[in-house]
Amino acid sequence: MGIKQNIMNKIRKALISVSNKKDLKPLLNALSKYKIDIISSGGTYKKIKRLGFECIELSKFTNTPEILNGRVKTLHPKIYGGILNKRQNKKHLREIKKNNYENIDLIVANFYPFEDNLYKKADHNKIIENIDIGGPTMVRAAAKNYNDVVVICNTNQYRRFINELETNKGSTSLSFREKLAEEAFMETAYYESNIFKYFNEKSENIFPQKNIFSGKLISQIRYGENPHQKAAIYSKNHHQDIIQLSGKELSYNNYNDLYSALSTTQLLPNNKGVAIIKHANPCGVSINQNKVKSFKEALESDPISAFGGIVSCNFKMNINLAKEINKTYFEIVMAKGFDTKSKILLKKKKNLRIIDTSNFRGENKFNFISKYNSILIQNVDNENFSRKDFKVVSKRKPNIETLNKLIFAFNVCRNVKSNAIVITNNYKTIGIGSGQPSRLDSCQIAINKMKKFQSLEKNKELFAASDAFFPFVDGIEKLVQSGVTAVVQPSGSKNDKEIIKFANLTNTILVFSKTRHFNH
């Protein structure tokens, strides 16, 4: 095997059939330099001729015309015999000679732009016509026979291939061909996965018998949650939907936090919401038409936890807000765009990561958790609440404004790690208890935060949200004793009646959500 690795295969004949025709000229120059014959068809043939290079038309090579509006071009035994025969197999050699076939040593093919048409939201017929058959079939054939054949299926491979030819004077090494074969199967698998995903979504079959997950590498990250862990980030979409404008490279933890921040702010009323996130948990959230005030209120919720966290705004950043944000140390500032002055100011902190979320659409349909050899999948908990999703169960009834304030608290609560308790006042958080095995402990943490950082006035309205039901009266009792006058929680406990009874005895507004919202 060691000797075989050093054997070079001379390329004598190439077949080029590409949908993406950019950067062909340097490739053709290299093929011409080493006197490699070229076969091609359709638009690629015309392009090669226009660039001034000799080329054999595929239909003349096979002596068979293209048919079915170009659906059948390369699907011919002369093509696949030339690609798939093993050059050292005597039976193969006899059959090739008997049929008057020729070896094809290089395949250059990229595929119809199926994915591009998906993101352009083309009609169904156009999408179907952009399912490439011949290209992926040739690529897979060449990749299977990498021992004798070179396969190129991406324009970013051209330069490496040209360098290989230059180094080896028109030949390629087995190790080079094997690496390109690996990349070829990656490309065909990714291409097929998008076709599957299209049909799968069209049929709304959310949990098929076999599933395929694919993504494009955005970047390798320096390390994962801890320095000894390796990490990378991939995008399931055509491109990443956030843009980093400045600052240090994003870490694994940064990505985890910023997507948690976006999950929170996209559920807030547009153009007036601010969330501050630390370790994937909200530590302060506010909605206020005054953008500077909205930020200040979010910060005041827990200024100690906010230090070194993420600020996420669901509106365009202005200079006044940027000045205020600049007074505190944050790792990341995110907004739906930045005006010129705010961008200049924030960029002065070289390490501060500035993220433009203008293109973020929040079109996440499923969440995935991979553990060992299993993958957990669930659809995303991002439905917008309305008043019909809640039921007032106490004798004391909330007015519309009070109910809206409770819904705000519950919206924040669903993005806090369970067990979650959120205390709010007038569309701002003032105490958050997160991630405790005991709901009672989460209540106490939220109350302690509130007492530590808030100057509570008498008769100040305090609202509380719990992400799941209170199993016993002690949790809601603790909140009411701290001054909470209205509570929203999911129903479902065998002690619901006791909770309602306690609310009525203390003249507390109690609203039941029809759905639970754990966030583990």
Give pLDDT, residue 459: 53
Neighbour-count burial for 437-471, b at 16+ CB within 10 Å, e otherwise: eebbebbbbbbebbeebbeeeeeeebbbbbbbbbe
Name the amino acid, one letter, at 438: S
Give pLDDT, residue 4: 46
Distances from the Cα of 111 to the Cα of 115, 129, 486, angstroms = 10, 12, 59
Residues 169-208 have pLDDT tens digits of 999 999 999 999 999 999 999 999 999 999 998 898 888 8
Q: Are 31 and 123 within 8 A, CB to CB?
A: no
The angle at the Cα of 57, spanning 52 to 63, to the nearest 5 degrees, equals: 160
Dist CA 316 CA 334 (whole Å): 9
Q: Which two tokens stand for residue 42?
A: 């359709």
Dist CA 384 CA 517 (whole Å): 13
Considering the segment(s) 387-513 as one domain, its CATH architecture is 3-Layer(aba) Sandwich (3.40)
Give pLDDT, residue 161: 97
Residues 271-306 have pLDDT tens digits of 999 999 999 999 999 999 999 999 999 999 999 999
Those residues with Cβ within 8 angstroms of residue 480's Cβ, 6 or more apart along the chain or in another chain: 487, 502, 506, 508
pLDDT bin (cut points 50, 70, 90) of residue 430 is very high
Write down the CATH number for the domain with range 2-203.
Answer: 3.40.50.1380
Beta-strand relationship, 106-110 and 13-18: parallel
- Whether residue 456 has pLDDT greater than 70: no
Residues 202-228 have pLDDT tens digits of 898 888 898 888 888 989 998 999 999
* Per CATH, domain 237-356 is 3.40.140.20: yes
For residues 418-445, give the mean pLDDT.
94
Across the chain, mean pLDDT equals: 92
Beta-strand relationship, 56-57 and 37-40: parallel
Distances from the Cα of 30 to the Cα of 37, 188, 330, 371, angstroms = 11, 26, 51, 47
Burial level of 293, CB count in 10 A (0-12/13-18/19+)? middle
Residues 133-156 have pLDDT tens digits of 999 999 999 999 999 999 999 999
For residues 111-131, give the mean pLDDT.
87
Residues 5-53 have pLDDT tens digits of 456 789 999 999 999 999 999 999 999 999 999 999 889 999 999 999 9
Which regions of the chain carry the CATH code 3.40.140.20? 237-356, 387-513
The rounded percent of the chain whose pLDDT value lies above 90 is: 73
For residues 156-177, give the mean pLDDT.
94
